[in-house]
């Protein structure tokens, strides 16, 4: 157990060090370390940024099934979802910071506010959202923190420190915290949908000069793909973490998550179908050229192999093929594939549209991330995993076992479903 954990952290640490090296290079030399150009000003970092915002929004929305809608079958991943959402958001902002031409001015958007800019609103929503996630996570943990604080050890001391002097936790306290969680979750739903991830889709949707992005479907597609990736990530994380720790896996929970994930994936594919038909029949060269770049150029592997094959065909096969559909392994593999596929989705949103020249006659661009871009991205991925692992190690992320008094965290405030 311990060996496994240390190997895991060692691996992450190594990648993180490579990431730090890349980040130092990038800070010292600037964006010249990337393959970005004035024609393709956004690349891998922006793609990963929207990928992580999506993971966060998806994971958070899943947590509201527990804390707002009282769906007991997902209770075991409620805190996991909040922690994942929080960590993903931190990583997403890490990517934004890496991408800024003037990193030293990262705080300017908070003091200068151009109100017609979606990005300016986004930054504020991200801030609010992170605060909300941290508060929700804390409130959801409190019941078990109190229990831990009595147990001593470093975990006990950490719990005591987090509780800020609170020593007793009655049913009344628990009820109050659940009410608070419900209120925060309810506020969080529109915040996550319209502010955080729909808003991130709006960043692209409002850009009139790029016909492929422009339109109201983009924000909707973003929210749906966020649900897909968030649900898939939580499924994968839940199973892999419990397997690695040698803990039993709740098969019915995995099956329920798998069904949800498949449903979301179908909705996403349906919306993409609409989008591709409209774009495919467009007579506007700027649209059809983007589609051709995505599907028929040297970049098309990202669409056909990553987005479509890994991200849709394989997982749908796994969740419907009789030999794999009811197995935890099959659903987990499908979940991992979906998460990887969504990376392709994000790249295909950002890159092909910036390869095609914005004005006919301007040169076509080319973009593939540099080693520094990949290394720094890997570094931020592992930073996220390190933060998550530390969170799981130091906080009572898993709800109490049923044997321990037969209660689950939301017992006292369960609406009749």
For residues 130-169, which are near other proteins according to CB under 8 A? none
Residue 275 CA, distance from chain mean position:
23
Please say whether the beta carbons of 21 and 375 come within 8 A. Answer: yes
Q: Is 113 one of the binding residues for other proteins (CB under 8 A)?
A: yes
Query: Judged by CB, which is closer to other proteins: 215, or 341?
Result: 215
| Token reading at 71 | 């769906």
Please say whether the beta carbons of 400 and 144 come within 8 A. Answer: yes
Quote the CA–CA distance of 235 and 328 in Å, as a whole number.
10
Q: What is the dihedral of CA 36, 38, 43, 49, to 10 degrees?
A: 120
- Among residues 181, 148, 89, the alpha carbon closest in space to that of 383 is found at 89
Q: By three-state DSSP, how is residue 417 classified?
A: coil
Q: Hunting for tokens 């992170």 — which residue is that? A: 130
Instruction: Count the site residues for other proteins by CB under 8 A.
Output: 40
Interface stretch with other proteins, choices 95-103, 145-153, 248-256, 399-407 (CB under 8 A): 95-103
Q: Is 42 one of the binding residues for other proteins (CB under 8 A)?
A: yes
Interface pick for other proteins out of 6, 11, 13, 30 (rule CB under 8 A): 30
Query: Judged by CB, which is closer to other proteins: 142, or 346?
Result: 346
Please say whether the beta carbons of 16 and 382 come within 8 A. Answer: yes
Query: Judged by CB, which is closer to other proteins: 146, or 354?
Result: 354
Interface pick for other proteins out of 20, 100, 256, 392 (rule CB under 8 A): 100
Interface pick for other proteins out of 75, 99, 144, 174 (rule CB under 8 A): 99
Q: Is 49 one of the binding residues for other proteins (CB under 8 A)?
A: no
Query: Judged by CB, which is closer to other proteins: 101, or 322?
Result: 101
Interface characters, 201-240, with other proteins (x: CB under 8 A)? --x--xxxxx------------------------------
Query: Judged by CB, which is closer to other proteins: 37, or 324?
Result: 37
Query: Judged by CB, which is closer to other proteins: 111, or 416?
Result: 111
Interface pick for other proteins out of 16, 22, 36, 336 (rule CB under 8 A): 36
For residues 348-377, which are near other proteins according to CB under 8 A? 354, 357-362
Q: Is 283 one of the binding residues for other proteins (CB under 8 A)?
A: no
Q: By three-state DSSP, how is residue 239 classified?
A: helix
- Among residues 298, 297, 296, 276, the alpha carbon closest in space to that of 287 is found at 276
- Quick one: DSSP state of residue 309? I
- Among residues 137, 160, 133, 165, the alpha carbon closest in space to that of 147 is found at 160
Interface stretch with other proteins, choices 105-113, 169-177, 294-302, 322-330 (CB under 8 A): 105-113
Residues 6+ apart with CB under 8 A from 406: none
Q: Is 105 one of the binding residues for other proteins (CB under 8 A)?
A: yes
Query: Judged by CB, which is closer to other proteins: 114, or 167?
Result: 114
Q: Is 243 exposed, middle or buried (0-12, 13-18, 19+ CB in 10 A)?
A: middle
| Token reading at 45 | 């970092």
Q: Is 282 one of the binding residues for other proteins (CB under 8 A)?
A: no
Q: What is the dihedral of CA 102, 106, 110, 114, to 10 degrees?
A: 30
Q: Is 24 one of the binding residues for other proteins (CB under 8 A)?
A: no
Please say whether the beta carbons of 43 and 35 come within 8 A. Answer: yes
Q: Hunting for tokens 């730090």 — which residue is that? A: 20
CB of 133 to other proteins, least distance (A): 22
Q: Is 274 one of the binding residues for other proteins (CB under 8 A)?
A: no
Interface characters, 174-193, with other proteins (x: CB under 8 A)? --------------------
Query: Interface residues with other proteins (CB under 8 A)?
Result: 29-32, 36-39, 41-42, 99-102, 105-106, 108-109, 112-114, 116-120, 123, 203, 206-210, 354, 357-362
């Amino acid at each position: 157990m311990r060996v496994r954990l240390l190997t895991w952290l060692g691996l992450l640490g190594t990648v993180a060090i490579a990431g730090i090296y890349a980040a130092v290079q990038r800070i010292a030399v600037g964006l010249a370390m990337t393959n970005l150009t004035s024609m393709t000003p956004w690349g891998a970092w922006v793609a990963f940024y929207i990928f992580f915002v999506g993971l966060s929004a998806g994971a958070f929305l899943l947590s509201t099934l527990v804390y707002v809608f009282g769906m007991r079958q997902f209770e075991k991943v409620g805190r996991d979802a909040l922690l994942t959402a929080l960590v993903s958001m931190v990583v997403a902002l890490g990517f934004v910071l890496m991408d800024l031409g003037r990193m030293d001015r990262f705080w300017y958007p908070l003091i200068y506010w151009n109100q017609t800019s979606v990005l300016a609103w986004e930054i504020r929503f991200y801030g609010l959202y992170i605060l909300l996630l941290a508060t929700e996570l804390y409130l959801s943990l409190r019941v078990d923190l109190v229990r831990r604080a009595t147990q001593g050890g470093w975990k006990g001391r950490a719990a005591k420190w987090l509780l800020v002097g609170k020593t007793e936790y009655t049913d009344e306290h628990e009820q109050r915290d659940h009410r608070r969680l419900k209120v925060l979750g309810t506020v969080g739903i529109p915040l996550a949908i319209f502010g955080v991830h729909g808003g991130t889709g709006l960043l692209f949707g409002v850009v009139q000069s790029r016909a492929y992005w422009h339109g109201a479907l983009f924000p909707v597609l973003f929210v749906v793909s966020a649900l897909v990736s968030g649900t898939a990530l939580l499924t994968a994380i839940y199973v892999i973490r419990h397997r690695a720790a040698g803990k039993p896996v709740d098969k019915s929970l995995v099956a329920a998550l798998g069904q949800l994930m498949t449903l979301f994936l179908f909705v996403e594919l349906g919306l993409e179908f609409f989008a591709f038909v409209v774009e495919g029949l467009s007579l506007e060269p700027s649209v059809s050229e983007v589609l051709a770049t995505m599907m028929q150029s040297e970049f098309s592997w990202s669409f056909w192999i990553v987005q479509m094959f890994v991200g849709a065909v394989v997982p749908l096969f796994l969740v419907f093929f009789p030999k794999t559909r009811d197995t935890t392994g099959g659903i987990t593999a499908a979940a991992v594939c979906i998460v990887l596929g969504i990376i392709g989705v994000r790249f295909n949103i950002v890159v092909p549209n910036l390869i095609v020249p914005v004005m006919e006659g301007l040169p076509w661009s080319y973009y593939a991330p540099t080693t520094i871009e990949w290394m720094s991205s890997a570094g931020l991925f592992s930073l996220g995993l390190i933060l998550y692992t530390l969170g799981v190690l130091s906080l009572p992320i898993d709800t109490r076992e049923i044997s321990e008094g037969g209660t689950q965290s939301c017992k006292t405030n369960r609406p009749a479903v």
